[in-house]
Structure formats: C-alpha cells, structure tokens
Chains A and B, each alone.
Chain A
Amino acid sequence: MGQEEGQHQEHRKVEEAEQAVKTRMERLASFISSRTGATYPLFRPVPEFSLNPFYWLGALSVVAFIIQGVTGLMMALYYIPSTDAAYTTTQYIFKSVYFGQFLETIHLYTAYAMIMLAFMHMMRGYFVSVHKKPREIMWMVGMVMGFVTLGFGFTGYLLPYTVVSTSASDVGIGMMAALPTPLANLANFLVVGTGGTASELLRFYDLHVIVLPAVLLALLAVKMMMLETHGVAEPVTGSLTERLKKTLPIFPDVTVYLLELAVIFGVGMLLISALFPIQLGPEYTPQAAAAIAAQPDWYFLWLYQILKIQIFETAGLPVALTFASAVFVALILLPFIDKGDDRRIIDRPKFVILGAIFIAELIVLAAWGLITPGQIIPNLTAVEVLGGTALIVTLAMAGVYAAVRPTGMIAGTGSSPSPSPAVSGPVHHLYQGKWMGLGMSALMGFGALGIGISVDSVVQMIEFGITTPMLVRFSASACLMIAVVTCAFLGLRWVGRRVASHNDPLSHEARGKLEFN
C-alpha cells in the first residue's frame, strides 16, 4: 500500500512539473503573441472551394517573385552595373561563384514563369469575370502589376550586357522615341538619362532592383487589402455545396496548401534548370551587334512582330505603339467596358470570343516572330495570318456556343435564359450533346481554314497571276467549304429534330402509345 502511495505521489509530482512547464510555455507564447500580434488574424479565412490551383496563380506569381528576390540578391553580391564590368561580373558569377550558373538559370526561368503565371492569372480572371463588381479596382491594380512584371523583364534583360540582350534593349529604347513627346521625354529621363550607355545600364539596374520591386510590393499590399475586403470570387459555374462553403484558417491550413503548390512549382523550376542550364552569350561590342538580328525575349515577341509589319515600319511606328497601348488601356478599363451582370462564360460569348482571339493572336505573333527574326512582314501576309487566326477562332468559338449555349427552346423552358448573377442564379439546362458541340466546333474550324486558304489563293492569283497549282488549291479549299457547309446543315437539322421532339408535349413514347392504340 505504502509503495503504491509513493508511486502515486511521484506520478503527481511529474504531472505538476509538466503542467508548470506547459503553463510557462503557454505564458511565453501568450507574451510573444500579445507583444508582436503574431496570432492576430491578418487574413480572413479562405473558403474550401478556393483550394484549387487556378485560384492561386497570382499567389504562385508572388512565389516566383520571392525566388527572384532571393536569387537576385545573391547575384547582386557580385554584379557591378557598369559597361566595363557588367559582362565580366556576370561571367564571374557563371564560372566562379558557388552555384552561380544555377542561380542565373533559376533567376531567368523563374522570371519567365512569373510572367506566364501573371498572364494566366489575368486571363483566368477575364474569363471568369473577376473584374466585375465589386472587384473593379482590384482588376486595375492587378493589370498595373502585370505591366510592372513586364518591366522587370525589360530592365533585367540588359543587365548581363551580352550582345543579344543589349541589342534587344536598344530596340526597346528606340521604340520609346516614337511615343508622344511628353511620354518619350519621361521614358528617356527614366531609363536613359544623359550619360549615354553607362547611365542607361545603371538606371536599368536601379529600376530592376529598387524601383520596380518597391512599386510591385506596394501594389501587392493594396491588392491584398482589397482581397481581404471582398474575399475570394466565388466560382461562376454550378452551385456550392455546404462543404465547399466551409472556410479554413489562413494559418496553418491555407498556408500549408500554398506551400504545397509552391514546392511543386519549385520542383518544376529546379528540374527545368537542371535539364536546360543557360549559357552566357558573347559580350556586347558594336561590331558583334551589327552582325545579329536583334530579337527580344519571348514575352515581347508579339509586339516585335507587330512592329515588323511593313505598314508599321519607321513612319508607322507611332500607329503601332498607339494600337498596342490602346489594347493595354482597354484591358485596364475592362471593368467599365464589360459591365453586365453575367459572369458565366456561357453567358458572355462576345467577351469570351474576344479573349480567345487575344490569346490566339499573341501566340501566333510570338511564334511567328521567333521564326522570322529581322524579316519585314508584307502587309498582305500580316492581314492573312492575323485575320485568318481571328476568323478561325471566331468561327470555332461561335460553333461551340451555337452547339452548347442554352436557348429557351433547347432548355425546354420556353423562355430565353435569364442573366446569371454569380452562383445564385438559375441553373441552365444545357444541351447535353457534348460530342455534337465538339463536332460543330471542328466543322467551324475546318470551315475557317477553307475560307482562309481560298482567300489566300485568290490574293496570290491577283498578285502573281493564275497558275494551275493555285487553281487546284483554290478548288480544294472551296470543296472543303462545301463539305463543311453540308455537314453543318445536316448536323443542325438533326439537332433541330431532336429539340423539336424533346419539346413536343407528345413525346415519342406517348406518340407511340397513341399510334398503337
């Protein structure tokens, strides 16, 4: 008995000691929390439906920015932004600094990823209408952040001072002269100054490592503040289940989710860097620069290709820049252009098709720019390629909409679909024929191809005279168009019959019974 009593007392003592430690730890935690505000809920809880990578493209772009900051800071320990030392110090980083080449490679590829992620974030927002009430200003701030991101690319490209980077930057600086005088003067003051190449390099460096990061961080803070006010935009399709409406605390749950995405992104960057390490190009000299065709990095290739179109050469440069600026301004002011209540993709065919054309044109221009360095593009070719792309995308998308868009008749409601405010709106009964939709869009694509080839053939025949191969080409494309029209006609007739039978109060079954009786 006595022994048992002793054991009990010993056990109690251990428990009390543990309790005292716990209390002390808790007291310490409470002290730190109260003095630093560490546990103050800085960010609102996040709904479970947003645990989806598409909601975090912007956050991943910030992750890329952080990686840029860390790797950039390491490189800044060795880099000297002067015309004499820029190339040699970059070379030193590549050859003599621990993990130098790896740092340079990661810095470059993460910059590419940051631009791509920012673009994807913007286009996703465009398609799912995040720019609509009450997030108009958020959209505009995000757009400015996108331009700042492009600014990082532009200013960073010059810094290694290789022949390619310097020539491409010179093209960009040359373009600034074509801006309206006040803007040209401002741009000149900001990036070139009066000290020639030396001051230009120094200013690019300052913009790259001080001004632009500061501006981006400030804009990020503003955007985060607005995100806290408005919350995450709800998905535009379907209705949310109770489970998905549940919220998760930002720490640790959402932070862990973001870390999960960040490490997957990081692994991607690591592997690409390991597989394709970059090499430093030759140093810039005026002689070496004269021997190459200046070519910007891929994210500016679309603009470069527009400027290479014959009509925009030299005298037409301001027109091209005005056009590109107009696109940017339209994107910034999008919340005031696309104002309707409809948020769903299916209810906004006009803007969705415009968005698809925008993406297709950017891809076509960039790819085209890549394979035609330094070549002037004839006006007619430009009209054919760019017009053809727009036409093909428009017709293909129109085909998709024609096949899947709910109409009163197809929905079986007898009325046109009402606007759908976010998630709470009526759920449309979509026409279920997905294969029919795909078939129709394929047909529209082929039709557009037929139109494109026939227009091109006619233009070629007008320009170079009628030749047998061109006639054969024209006939083949005309046959393709006829085949497409026939198939489309038959397909639509079949759909029409199905819809009519679906809408008929006397269904097939009932009609069968009546006939039988």
Chain B
Amino acid sequence: MNSTERVVVPLLLVQTASVILLWSLDTLAVVDQKIFALFLGADFLAFGLMAHLYLNMKTDSKTSGTTLMVWGLVIVVLFVAGFIVY
C-alpha cells in the first residue's frame, strides 16, 4: 500500500462509524433528520474519495495532496457537525 492507498483505512472507519450512528437515530425527530443527513453525507463523501483514488490509480493520474486534504476536511467537518447536533 502506498501513502495514498493508506487513506482508504480511515475512510472505511468513517463509513463504519457513520452507519452505526445512523441506526441509533430517532427517525421522527426533525433534529435527527439533520444528523442523518450529516452522517450520511460523510459516509457518501468517504465512498466518493475512495472512488476518486481508485480512478486515479486506473488512469495513472496523480491524486493531489490539496484534493485529499480538502476532501478529508469536508468529511471531518460533516462528521463533527453531526456529533455537535447529536
């Protein structure tokens, strides 16, 4: 695994955590619907980043550090925002 591929490990952790948290919500409360959107958003973005890395490997393109940082930051922001609302 190179350094870029290693990013997949925390992404999988984010996905697992968000899915577990999604099952713990009170689905009738409006505030929980917000939390649902935030955690699901983080989950989706983690998957999107993995897809991005995979495609870059396939097309021999380099994944820029800035893209990784920004993408990862957005995931963290969504995840933390979910916990704050939680």
Residues of A bordering B, CB below 8 Å: 48, 51, 96, 98-99, 101-102, 248, 253, 256-257, 259-260, 263-264, 266-267, 270-271, 273-274, 277
Contacts and interface: CB of A to CB of B under 8 A. Distances in A.
Given A96-B28, A263-B47, A270-B40, 13 more contacts: A51-B55, A99-B27, A99-B36, A101-B30, A102-B33, A102-B36, A253-B58, A253-B59, A259-B47, A259-B51, A260-B51, A271-B38, A277-B33
Contacts, number: 64
B25 to A, nearest CB: 9
30 contacts: A98-B27, A99-B27, A99-B33, A99-B36, A101-B33, A248-B59, A253-B55, A253-B58, A256-B54, A256-B55, A259-B47, A259-B48, A260-B48, A260-B52, A263-B44, A263-B45, A263-B47, A263-B51, A264-B48, A266-B41, A270-B40, A271-B37, A271-B38, A271-B41, A273-B37, A274-B33, A274-B34, A274-B38, A277-B30, A277-B33
Nearest to B39: A270
Given A96-B28, A263-B47, A267-B44, A48 B37 contact: no
A274 B37 CA distance: 6
Contacts of B27: 98-99
Interface of B: 27-28, 30, 33-34, 36-38, 40-41, 44-45, 47-48, 51-52, 54-55, 58-59, 78
B52 A266 contact: no
A111 B48 CA distance: 22
Nearest to A268: B41
Contact of B28 (A98, A257, A277): A98
Nearest to A274: B37
**Which applies to chain A's interface (DSSP): helix, strand, loop or mixed?**
helix
Contacts of A274: 33-34, 37-38, 41
A24 to B, nearest CB: 28
Contacts of A271: 37-38, 41, 78
Contacts of A264: 44-45, 48
Contacts of A248: 58-59
Contacts of B51: 256-257, 259-260, 263
A267 B41 contact: yes
A277 to B, nearest CB: 7
B30 A270 contact: no
Contacts of A277: 30, 33-34
A264 B27 CA distance: 24
A270 B37 contact: yes
A277 B54 CA distance: 34
Contacts of B34: 274, 277
Contacts of A259: 47-48, 51
A166 to B, nearest CB: 26
Nearest to B51: A260
